[in-house]
Structure 1
Amino acid sequence: MDDEDLIPLSALQHYLYCPRQCALIHVERLWAESRHTAEGRLMHDRADTAGVEVRHGVRTDTSMPLSAPELGIAGVADIVEFRKGEAGLVPRPVEYKRGKPKAHRADEVQLCAQALCLESMLRCSVPEGALFYGKTRRRQCVVFDEALRALTLDTIQAVRRMLNESRTPKAVYEAKRCDTCSLLELCRPHELTRRMSVRDWLLQQTAEES
């Protein structure tokens, strides 16, 4: 698979958060900056500088390129820590996120995809990783169990189908999700959700007249 055909790891997170957001970014190539995205970008400043550091027996690689061509995914890990294990150095991806832990599993799937890439590249097992959230200033351990791996693989397939079809899902407004999205003005969920089909409009008019 050519590099340009590989799905960005961030697309998996976008898809689980909102399939329409994913399509706007990765199919229609739209983007808009917001306070939230700017804060997230600032959080990544250190991790976005490629480098290697060894401290207290732990090797830390920042901004590490990742890929798993057999799965059709590629991206960059904020941080990958390598700790000594029985079979040698064991990699542990760490992803930085602004905000706080979420109810959905979008961030966990993105992190798990990083682990799948590391397993493909290094031919080793990656049992767990961590998410660091800016608001809590704490790491949240993520175990890459069978359920999370299955959800990650299913998400990769779903994103691949959407990209192949070049299809953007219809807008569905949900206040908690939409109001904090940087693409709110480009997506226009308020307006598009209210639109009726001609058939529904005629049925409504008929009902009102009767």
Structure 2
Amino acid sequence: MSYSDDELLMISGIQHYHYCKRQWYLIHAEQQWSENLYTTKGNILHEKVDDPFVVETRKNMFVSRSLPLVSYNLGFYGVSDVVEFILSDNGCYIKSKNNKYEVTPVEYKAGKPKSDDCDKVQLCLQALCLEEMLDVNIEQGYLYYGKTRHREKVNFNRELRESVAELSNKMHSIIKDEITVFPEYGQKCDRCSLKNLCIPKIKTTYSSVNRYIKSKLIDKEGIDA
């Protein structure tokens, strides 16, 4: 299957979707957003990294920042933080450098490594975009965490690739079929910048805002009586 330009979703959305479907839905379907301490830290870190005019060249490699990415097979587009190109006979041919390079994506995160795979699926999706664009196989990438100042190696194995494909299908189905994603309250809701927009506790109990308001009016009338 191949997606059109109008059907492309943002690469960053797969991280949101894996972490919380409701968060992804509010940001990418309803275009709602709100800042908090965690998102501000992330923005500051990316401002230091994302400079499309900076290309670092070292002995046997060069580094490209803010490289545009797209996959029409999976239906995603976005921008990478960093892509490292390391000189290798088994890599892809880069015309401007007149040589072959191994390709390694690097994603920067402000916090620390997470217990789930939400960051890993985002990085893997970036790799799949690069594979499609450059006709190359990418076996690994790195997640750099600002809190630990450490790079975590991520292997793009079959399981992770299949997970990305599955998430991609679900995300596109929600958009195509115009499905509303309702919240499911959990501990992570308290750290979410969209908590006040989502109101997870209320909407978990009441299926709609109208029903919630009506219930409160009934309660008030009963008290006044």
Assess if the C-alpha contact under 8 Å between 1:98 and 1:134 holds in 2: yes
Equivalent residue, structure 2, for 1:194: 205
Q: Deviations over 1:116-173 (max 9, x none)?
A: 0100011111110000011111000000000000001111111101111222322111
Shift of 1:4: 3.3
Q: Which residue in the other structure is 1:111 paired with?
A: 123
Q: Residue 59 of structure 1 contacts residue 83 of structure 1 at CA under 8 Å; is this kept in 2?
A: yes
CA distance, structure 2, for counterparts of residue 26 and residue 140 of structure 1? 28
Residue equivalent to 2:144: 132
SS in 1 for 2:154: strand
Which ranges in structure 1 are unaligned for 5 or more consecutive residues? 202-210
2:29 match: 27
5+ residue gaps, structure 2: 91-99, 216-225
Using the TM superposition, give the Cα deviation of residue 195 of structure 1 relative to its aligned residue in structure 2, in angstroms: 2.5
Task: Tell me which residue corresponds to 1:9.
Answer: 11
Which residue is equivalent to 1:204?
Answer: none
Q: Is the Cα–Cα contact under 8 Å of residues 119 and 125 in structure 1 kept in the other structure?
A: yes
Q: Scaled by the length of structure 2, what TM-score is found?
A: 0.84
Instruction: Give the number of aligned pairs.
Output: 198
Sequence identity percentage: 40
Residue aligned with 2:191, SS: coil
Q: TM-score, normalised by structure 1?
A: 0.90
Equivalent residue number for residue 208 of structure 1 = none
Tell me the equivalent position of 1:150.
Answer: 162
Residue 72 in structure 1 maps to residue 83 in structure 2: no
Residue type of the partner of 2:20? C
Describe the SS at the equivalent of 1:80.
strand
| CA RMSD, 1 decimal | 1.6
- Ranges of 4+ aligned residues in structure 1 off by more than 6 Å: none
- Larger relative contact order, structure 1 or 2 (CA cutoff 8 Å, min sep 6): 1
